[in-house]
């Protein structure tokens, strides 16, 4: 038995791991790499042979850095089933299709802009809508806490991770030659204090823990401080006649921002200006949240069941069509614009940046983790100019980072989770994934000092013998 690491090893994106038990291969996630455009595109297109030949895939949650390359996998010959939770399957049905549509649209835009079609150097999307639909035909829903055999020798049970709607801790009981080992893969781990989500569960009997480490070297501010700061930014920006541009993941972060804006309005701490959700995907996902209140915090669940919408602050307006989005970009009214994509590597936020980054009245609010080499990270680093659609744009807008809205566990959360899991089981091996090296190194030292465990920090191609 072994685990082989490929994506989200020494980095945050492209989650993909191989669990090998008794001659069978089970994939853990198959996400998109993001960062340097050429390098990410190559990695997304060059999946390893063992991934294509695997017997099954278990998906922890719907974020594209975990799910977004499943259509490529199926397109290139993967013949197994994909197992995930019911909300995650519903989310993937819209998210994978949307990812395909954005890739097709961006390819057409770049071909027109750069003249590639005339030069015979056409940009091709990674996959199209038909490929995304084929991937969905392979996807099966397994409810939380219901054991299910995904292949001979591997039994799966999902537990609540508290990260986003439908996100799961993946418990795998692996049996080979009469010996059983329980592996727990966290996917992305949530936070106990997230207003929308349930608290992460502690799974008993774990022998091997694969744990994310995105924020392994830092702590999140208090959620209440985050609300206060967001309110200040909006008031200041609107006061000087500007716009607040918030790039968000359509899944979870957009809903958390809406929930935060509603709290600010209820407290009288946000001005009455239009709030635009310029993302058909975020609109669709918000409706899926309402379809699955069982995955949300008890008070939010109660509101939804009583038909009290927790995602509708005053002034909220939905922008679905591309024409309406272009009309919004052309206006100059003070407002809040929430648009994808989360790391600013695609989607409608780029068109807002095209027009808005050069205006010193505007503000950009970063509300999530930005991987290395992404546009979002460059903005976070306060570069004087950045490339948008391949064209250098000056950055005069004010750039703010609010880490309090992150749905990822921080360093103390991760240590507490590792400690509780170790006490509830017999953790003999711990590997840190889904983190940049500085984050993993800091977390590994803290776990070693406090828990007397020595975490592995695998790189692409490394194997962990179980």
Give the mean pLDDT per block of 10 residues along the chain (466 residues): 96 97 98 88 95 98 97 97 98 96 84 67 90 98 98 98 97 98 98 90 98 96 88 98 95 93 94 96 94 93 92 95 95 95 88 96 94 92 94 97 90 98 97 97 98 97 97
Note the pLDDT of residue 285.
96
Which residues lie closer than 8 Å to 106 by C-beta, 6 or more apart? 125, 346
Note the pLDDT of residue 363.
98
Q: Provide the sign of the torsion angle of the four alpha carbons 418, 421, 423, 426, taken in this order.
A: negative
Note the pLDDT of residue 117.
53
- In whole angstroms, how large is the CA radius of gyration of the chain? 22
What per-residue string of b and e applies to 384-409 under the rule 16 or more CB within 10 Å gives b? eebebeeeebebebbbbbbbbbbbbb
> Which one-letter DSSP state was computed for residue 152?
T
For the beta carbon of residue 269, count every other beta carbon within 10 angstroms.
15
DSSP E strand stretches across 352-452 = 363-366, 385-388, 391-394, 398-401, 429-433
Residue 420 burial by Cβ neighbours in a 10 Å radius (0-12, 13-18, 19+): middle
Find out whether the peptide bond into 425 is cis, omega within 30 degrees of 0: no
DSSP letters for 12-65: SS--EEEEEETTEEEEE--PPP-SSHHHHHHHHH---HHHHT-SEEE-----HH
Q: Which of 203, 161, 154, 217 is nearest to 186 (CA)?
A: 161
d(CA 270, CA 273): 8
* Widest Cα–Cα separation across the chain: 70
DSSP letters for 253-310: HHHHHHHHHHHHHHTT-S----EEE--HHHHHHHHHHHH-GGGB-HHHHHHHHTT--T
d(CA 25, CA 80): 10
Note the pLDDT of residue 118.
57
d(CA 142, CA 57): 13
Note the pLDDT of residue 385.
97
For the beta carbon of residue 240, count every other beta carbon within 10 angstroms.
12
Look at residue 333 and give its three-state secondary structure: coil
Altogether, the residues listed in the chain come to a count of 466
Q: Which domains does the chain have, with CATH numbers?
A: 2-218+409-465 (3.60.15.10), 223-405 (3.40.50.10890)
Q: Which of 205, 216, 200, 218 is nearest to 433 (CA)?
A: 216
The tokens of 445 are what? 């030292």
Look at residue 338 and give its three-state secondary structure: strand
Look at residue 114 and give its three-state secondary structure: helix
Note the pLDDT of residue 107.
84
Phi, psi for residue 184 in degrees, rounded to 5 = -120, 120
């Amino acid at each position: 038995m072994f685990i082989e690491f490929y994506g989200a090893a020494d980095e945050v994106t492209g989650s993909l791991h191989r669990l090998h038990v008794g001659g069978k291969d089970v994939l853990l996630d198959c996400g998109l790499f993001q960062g340097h455009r050429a390098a990410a595109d190559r990695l997304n297109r060059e999946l390893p042979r063992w991934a294509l030949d695997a017997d099954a895939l278990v998906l922890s949650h719907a974020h594209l850095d975990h799910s977004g390359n499943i259509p490529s996998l199926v397109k290139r010959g993967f013949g197994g089933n994909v197992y995930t939770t019911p909300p995650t399957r519903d989310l993937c049905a819209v998210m994978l299709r949307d990812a395909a549509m954005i890739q097709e649209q961006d390819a057409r835009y770049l071909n027109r802009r750069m003249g590639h079609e005339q030069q015979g150097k056409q940009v091709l999307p990674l996959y199209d809508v038909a490929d995304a639909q084929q991937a969905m035909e392979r996807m099966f829903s397994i409810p939380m806490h219901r054991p299910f055999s995904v292949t001979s020798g591997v039994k799966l049970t999902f537990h609540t991770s508290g990260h986003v709607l439908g996100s799961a801790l993946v418990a795998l009981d692996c049996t080979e030659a009469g010996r059983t080992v329980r592996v727990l893969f966290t996917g992305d781990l949530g936070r106990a204090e997230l207003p929308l989500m349930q608290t992460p569960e502690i799974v008993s009997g774990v022998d091997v823990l694969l744990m994310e480490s995105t924020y392994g070297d830092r702590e999140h501010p208090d959620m209440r401080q985050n609300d206060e700061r967001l309110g200040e930014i909006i008031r200041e920006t609107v006061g000087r006649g500007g716009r607040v541009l918030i790039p968000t993941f359509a899944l979870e972060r957009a809903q958390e921002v809406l929930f935060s804006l509603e709290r600010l309005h209820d407290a009288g701490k946000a001005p009455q200006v239009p709030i635009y959700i310029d993302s058909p995907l975020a609109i669709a996902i918000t409706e899926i949240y309402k379809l699955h209140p069982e995955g949300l915090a008890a008070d939010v669940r109660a509101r939804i069941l009583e038909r009290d919408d927790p995602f509708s602050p005053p002034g909220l307006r939905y922008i679905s069509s591309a024409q309406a989005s272009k009309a919004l970009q052309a206006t100059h009214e003070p407002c809040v614009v929430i648009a994808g994509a989360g790391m600013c590597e695609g989607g409608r936020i780029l068109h807002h940046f095209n027009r808005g980054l050069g205006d010193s009245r505007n503000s950009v609010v970063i509300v999530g983790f930005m991987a290395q080499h992404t546009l979002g990270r460059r903005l976070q680093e306060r570069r004087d100019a950045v490339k948008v659609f391949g064209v250098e744009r000056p950055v005069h807008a004010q750039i703010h980072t609010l880490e309090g809205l992150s749905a990822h566990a921080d360093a103390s959360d991760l240590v507490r989770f590792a400690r509780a899991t170790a006490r509830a089981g017999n953790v003999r091996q711990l590997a840190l994934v889904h983190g940049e090296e500085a984050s993993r190194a800091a977390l590994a030292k803290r776990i070693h000092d406090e828990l007397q465990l020595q975490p592995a920090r695998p790189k692409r191609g490394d194997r962990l013998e179980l």
